[in-house]
Structure 1
Amino acid sequence: MERENVEIYGRKERTLKRKEILEKKKVTDGLIKAASSLKDPLALFPDFLHYNQQGLSLCLEGGHGDKLSRSLKQYVQKLLKLNMERHYGTEWPTEEKVKYREMVAPEAHYIFVYEVPTLTSNKEKRLTPTIEHKGDVAGFVHYRFILEEELPVLYVYELQLEQRIQGKGLGKFLMQLLELIAHKNCMAAILLTVQKSNLSAMFFYTSKLGYCISSISPSRVDPKVGLGKNYEILCKAFDQEAKTNLE
């Protein structure tokens, strides 16, 4: 009788555990679906739609991978190649094809950075630069809401800026905006991939922004395997479960 009671108790525990797992998955899937379906995640952050520092006058606009114009597709490809080809070396031709498929996917969210032309009239000079005044595009962010280690996360696929606007605080500004978007959409963490040869990017994320090499990065999963990989996965977790699973 005692053994039978133990077995019954064990079955109940397993049933409850499965139920908890399914409920958690339902909640997580719902968060990702809701975030991914947002038409414009930037709309809730009007203070981040313009950037006026260190001689830059810029404005931001959101976008989706399956709705990019032909000119934006060409721009993204061109800037990616300009900034990243040297870091991938001989792997670039293959990687470029992968990145092209990623960039036009429906789940790809974008933040485009536009230069604001110099305004001439006194009335115009008093205006805060907005997307109505946008000029040439000068950079972009590609990010997605995905599941990682059974947790909802915001994954930064690309943050690419033209050289003339680099080193002026814009990268930090954009990452702060992404953290706000992640928090607002109940994501557990932000993840991103950095090429090992891209020392300036690695320093930027780890030393300036406080990101760490994630527990799911190849070098952490298996150091021997990690030696053969040319990238690291970096992470910033927002709650204890994410810190445990991802950091």
Structure 2
Amino acid sequence: MDNGEGKSMADSKTKKATRMQIMQKKKRIDELLKSAYSPDKDHLAEFPHSRHYNKNGLSLFLESGRGDKLSSNLKHQIQNLLKVNMEGPYGEEWPTEEKIKRREMSSPEALYIFVHTDNSKESIIGFVQYRFTIEEEIPVVYVYELQLESAYQGKGLGKFLMLLIELIARKNGMGAVVLTVQKKNYSAIKFYLNKLRYNISAISPSKVYQLNGVFGEEKSYEILCKAFDNEAKSVLEES
């Protein structure tokens, strides 16, 4: 066997081993997502102490939900809260964005944590909408919405909900929590970067531009993340 043929066989074995690793990783991630979306799984049940929020004069109740099981009343409340909180930051983009959010709201993949003032569960004062998904081959929890009525903001509730999301992400084997925030939503950016120690992600438009030096339309949002392991950090945080 000449050196050329030996090298070819070695390269073939290396490629085969690489393909096997990729397939095993994909299978592992698929199993994680399937388990996270199990129909009978209530993610709040994994942290029973988090079903109540008693702090800063508030006494609130938390409940899990799914997008394809929302009542008409809940849909209406979600839409109203989104409009009140997000019409300003989105500006002229809001009419288009509102339609997108309405579609996302009822998706079977949309998971919720609803916040109530009492156990009747008829009205909500806030919610988190999140999904288990894949970003750059990393399994993540993607937070689509964190919305609270203005009277309940600034009292630690938003931080409590995000830390709960991080616990859910870790419990289900996700590598990071990822979210999108409008650049004009200054209070939200300050909240995530300063209070919760999130980072502007390497996949955020501003970071991709810095890396590639490619001129294009400037985006109105940033993608933020908090990674839990070295692989997720290298892919999602380090540009």
CA distance in structure 1 between the partners assigned to 2:123 and 2:5 by the alignment: 74
Give the distance between the partners of 2:161 and 2:113, measured in 1 at CA: 9
Is residue 2:229 matched to residue 1:243?
A: no
1:52 match: secondary structure:
strand
TM-score (norm 2): 0.94
For residue 83 of structure 2, what is the aligned residue in structure 1? Answer: 81
Tell whether the 8 Å contact from 1:41 to 1:181 is kept in structure 2 after alignment: yes
Shift of 1:225: 5.3
Structure 1: runs of 5+ lacking an equivalent: 117-130
The CA deviation at 1:196 is 0.3
Matches within 5 A, 1:1-247: 1-38=2-39, 39-116=41-118, 131=119, 134=121, 136-223=123-210, 228-247=218-237
Asked whether the equivalents of residues 219 and 226 of structure 1 are also in contact (C-alpha less than 8 Å), the reply is no
Alignment length, in residue pairs?
Answer: 232
Pairwise CA distance, 1:36:
1.9
RMSD: 1.3
How far does residue 136 in structure 1 lie from its aligned partner after superposition? 3.0
Q: Tell me the secondary structure at the aligned position of residue 235 of structure 1.
A: strand
For the 8 Å contact 1:146–1:153, the answer to whether it is kept is yes
Report the Cα offset of residue 2 of structure 1.
1.4
CA contact 1:219–1:225 (8 Å) conserved in 2: no
**Cα offset, 1:241, TM superposition:** 0.4
Q: TM-score, normalised by structure 1?
A: 0.91
Deviates more, 1:236-245 or 1:32-41: 32-41
Q: Provide structure 2 residue ranges, at least 5 long, that are not aligned to the other structure.
A: none
Kept after mapping to 2: 8 A contact 1:191/1:234:
yes
Q: CA deviation at 1:26?
A: 0.7
What's the CA shift string for 1:99-134, capped at 9, x where partnerless? 111110000000000002xxxxxxxxxxxxxx4x55
Q: Once the two structures are superposed, what CA deviation does each residue of 1:13-46 show, in whole Å capped at 9, x if it has no partner? A: 0011011101101101111121122531111111
Rounded Cα–Cα distance in structure 1 between residues aligned with 2:215 and 2:79:
30
2: CA distance between counterparts of 1:195 and 1:187? 24
The answer to whether the 8 A contact 1:66-1:106 is kept is: yes
Structure 2 counterpart of 1:242, which letter?
A
Could you tell me how far 1:226 is from its partner in structure 2? 7.5
Percent same amino acid at aligned positions? 59
Find the aligned partners of 1:100 and 1:84 in 2 and give their Cα distance.
13
The whole-number CA distance in structure 2 between the counterparts of 1:107 and 1:93 is 23
